[in-house]
Structure 1
Amino acid sequence: MATLFSSTAAWPIFSIILLALTSMASQADARAFFVFGDSLVDNGNNNYLITSARADSPPYGIDYPSHRPTGRFSNGLNIPDIISEQMGMEPTLPYLSPLLRGESLLVGANFASAGVGILNDTGIQFLNIIRIGVQLEYFEQYQTRVDGLIGSEQTQALVNQALVLITLGGNDFVNNYYLVPFSARSRQFSLPDFVQYLISEYRKVLRKLYDLGARRVLVTGTGPLGCVPAELAQRSRTGECAVELMRAAGLFNPQLTEMLSNLNNEIGADVFIAANTYEMHMDFVSNPQAYGFITSKIACCGQGPYNGIGLCTPLSNLCPNRDVYAFWDPFHPSERANRIIVQQILTGDNKYMSPMNLSTIVALDSRT
């Protein structure tokens, strides 16, 4: 029987990953990082807005280095933080932060805003949030600001060489299509037609991102929407994942990957990288004990069945050890779960990352 690396064809791939892991920090020195999307990646923009979609009170941030809430919907670090950490980069600041000025601009910026979706009518109940079209306008504004700092040629290079992460789609289901029975969108579209509409609208967003200079874009799919504690509390009697929301994720994610592949073919380069966060989540949702979690059904912080009702507040139930809970609050993974997800983004095979993982991207980009 052949050993793992008996094939000479395996060595170049192995070498590329080794090179990536050893050179990440040096490569990242000159690489900016931009983040777009919703609460899974927002690191505090909503703190500066009059909105109910915010995480600026305890116990949010209980395990963050400062042990204080930062606006991240996490007990500690979120996915962009961990990507920055793993790549040896400084964490990005929220675009609305007054600290984002001067040299700090060259690190990149986080434009994400909790509550937003692909569609403008998603999250309207949260009032003032930075819809994705406005996030892209801010990205243009950012480039004008950097232009004044380092000139247009250098700014274009900074943006072209940057890493970009975008996370959208989940709210279009949980805070729009399925928010209330017989929502406007559910009356307008059957679920398969709604998913097709979402994908077509998302394509326009991503094309605009490309037109604004993004050349390496990680695009996450939705997680298993029906398995989060909030949906178990509302829709599940025995702890099984909510069928309709799982059907939505099952339709959306494969079509997203296909759309990204088509966009890459049209552009003639692997600009858009699909991160299958559905599979990444399902690993520990379906077998939490294998990943050191005691539960993937009950949120660490919350109230009601599965701690899935309402928001995480100072009055909520709070677990003593966040590391053994897959979900921090009714909707969001714990920092430890986020670390498992980022590890797959970095080194996962094509079950998780298509057409390549982040380590391979870094290795390839370091040779150009």
Structure 2
Amino acid sequence: MWFSTNSHHTIMTNMRVILITLHLVLVTIGTVVPMRTESARAFFVFGDSLVDNGNNNYLPTTARANSPPYGIDYPTRRPTGRFSNGFNLPDLISQQIGSEPILPYLSPQLNGQKLLVGANFASAGIGILNDTGIQFVGILRMFEQFSLFKQYQQRLSREVGVVEAKRIVNGALVLMTLGGNDFVNNYFLTPLSARSQQFTVPQFCTYIVSEYHKILMRLFELGARRVLVTGTGPLGCVPSQLATRSTNGECVNELQQAAQIFNSLLVQMTKDLNTQLGSDVFIAVNAYQMNMNFITNPQDFGFVTSKMACCGQGRFNGVGLCTTLSNLCPNRDVYAFWDPFHPTQRALEFIVRDMFNGSSYYMNPMNLSTIIAMDANI
């Protein structure tokens, strides 16, 4: 077989183009992945069922969301351990900050490079106090979540070295969600609970905020430098409380007042802590008002109801647990509440929008968009 000079030249030129293109593709493949890993900000989550994304699946506890219809709107259409019809609060924040979803710390899949993304230590049923949620047995109380966080840092250090591990932890975004269970699963759990015999509501709020102060200081000692601290939502307006305590579906005043006293003290405590530390480490998230916006005016947010849970039974679908035997609404997007205690994914999307763009009334001293812009310049 023979070639003319022109055709030989053309073939050689084409081969050079192919080789150069192939080289560029290989260089691109080689550089994109490390850049993504390096630039992504780690995300850590601590707290209760509002932010647990599956840790309780691995624990000997009744406080689980690992059976249908939980997860009905999650991409896999299967339960994941999230107390949601789909994504939960940490998932939606991860999406907004451009991070891949973080895994529960107890997941066997959390190893190697995945450690660099962060981890979720939250456990459904826990509170600020160690005696909150004792009825749920083997849950991860706050001191245990912190113990696992220390263990995580040792594992991260083995992966990337001590200096880089410290940089990742110091530069991370942290979400802390606590307090609701101290009221609904402790103080107000029974008409004459041990804590209600010990404290009036204002005294109890002062006590648990002083205990919360210790938790936040411990988190700072463990390296957290940018922490979102959510106040409690409007506890008296969730379907479980409407079902058991309201006459005509009105929010239960006693719980509403308790939430407001607690939240007010919490905001002041975070301000004092920031002053003491000389930096805006703790950001108070006004979850109460973020929820009240769509509870008070559900139609403005596209909801048909903010009283009835999508999944449950009894009055307002607020009695018992959400199971395969429960009433289940066909369209979760028009319900503010998924089960007797937890908002739907759609409701959480409105909350995350306020976290990113809300005024200082919602996010004190600044919102998440401001935090991300500021931290990018450090």
Secondary structure in structure 2 of the residue aligned to 1:35: strand
The one of 305, 319, 330 equivalent to 1:295 is 305
- TM-score between the two structures when normalised by the length of structure 1: 0.92
Contact 2:40 2:99 in 1 (8 A): no
Higher relative contact order (CA 8 A, sep 6+): 1
Q: How does 1:156-175 map to 2 (within 5 A)?
A: 156-175=166-185
Residue 200 of structure 1: SS of its match in structure 2? Answer: helix
Deviation per residue, 1:96-152 (Å, 9 max, x gap):
000001111110000000000000000000000000110011100100011111111
1:196 aligned residue? 206
What's the counterpart of residue 282 of structure 2? 272
For 1:298, what is the secondary structure of its paired residue?
strand
Structure 2 Cα separation of the partners of residues 284 and 30 of structure 1: 33
Cα deviation code 1:72-118 (max 9, x no counterpart): 00000000000001111011000000000111111000000000000
User: Relative to 1, partners in 2 of residues 1:340 and 1:135: Cα closer, same or farther, differing over 3 Å?
Assistant: same
Which residue number corresponds to residue 366 of structure 1? 376
Deviation at 1:351, TM superposition (A): 1.6
Judge conservation of contact 1:229–1:330 (CA < 8 Å) in 2. Answer: yes
3-state SS of 1:296 partner: strand
**1:243 CA drift (Å):** 1.1
Q: Which of 94, 101, 107 pairs up with 2:104?
A: 94
Q: Are the aligned partners of 1:41 and 1:79 in contact in 2 as well (CA < 8 Å)?
A: yes
The share of aligned pairs that are identical, in percent, is 65
Question: 1:247: how far off?
Answer: 0.9
Q: Number of residues paired by the alignment?
A: 344
**4+ runs of 1 displaced by more than 3 Å?**
25-29
1:151/1:164 CA distance change after superposition, 3 Å: same
Q: Structure 1: how far apart are the matches of 2:172 and 2:38?
A: 9
The whole-number CA distance in structure 2 between the counterparts of 1:133 and 1:195 is: 20
CA drift at 1:30: 2.6
Query: 1:53 is matched with which residue: 51, 57, 63?
Result: 63
1:119 corresponds in structure 2 to 129
**Residue type of the alignment partner of 1:87:** I
CA shift, 1:27, in A, is: 11
The letter for the 1-side match of 2:58 is: Y
In the TM superposition, 1:53-72 aligns within 5 A as: 53-72=63-82
Q: Tell me the C-alpha RMSD between the 2 structures.
A: 1.2
User: Residue 74 in 1 paired to residue 84 in 2?
Assistant: yes
> Structure 1, unaligned stretches of length 5 or more?
1-24
Question: Is it true that 1:183 corresponds to 2:193 in the alignment?
Answer: yes
Specify the SS of the correspondent of 1:326. strand
Choose the corresponding residue for 2:95, options 81, 85, 90: 85
Shift of the 28–366 alpha-carbon distance from structure 1 to 2, 3 Å rule, reads farther
Q: Is the 1:226–1:232 Cα contact (8 Å) retained in structure 2? A: yes
Give, as a single letter, the amino acid of the residue that structure 1 aligns with 2:210: S
CA contact (8 A) 1:300 1:329 kept: yes
1:81 corresponds to which letter in structure 2?
Answer: D
Aligned to 1:12: none
Give the residue type in structure 1 aligned to 2:148. Answer: Y
Cα distance in structure 1, aligned partners of 2:299 and 2:360:
24
Tell me if structure 2 keeps the 8 A contact 1:28–1:88. no
Distance change (3 Å), C-alpha of 1:203 and 1:50:
same
Whether contact under 8 Å (1:29, 1:89) holds in the other structure is: no
**Residues 1:324 and 2:302 aligned together:** no
Give the one of 137, 161, 180 matched to 2:147: 137
From the CA coordinates, give the structure whose radius of gyration is larger.
Answer: 2
Which digits, 9 at most, give the CA deviation of each residue in 1:216-259, with x for residues without a partner? 00000000000000000000110100111001101000110000
Partners of 2:138 and 2:329 lie apart in 1 by 31
Matches within 5 A, 1:143-154: 143-154=153-164
Report what 1:30 is aligned to: 40
Amino acid in the other structure paired with 2:99: M
Contact 2:55 2:106 in 1 (8 A): yes
| Contact 2:127 2:180 (C-alpha < 8 Å) held by counterparts | yes
- Give the AA of the match of 2:252: A
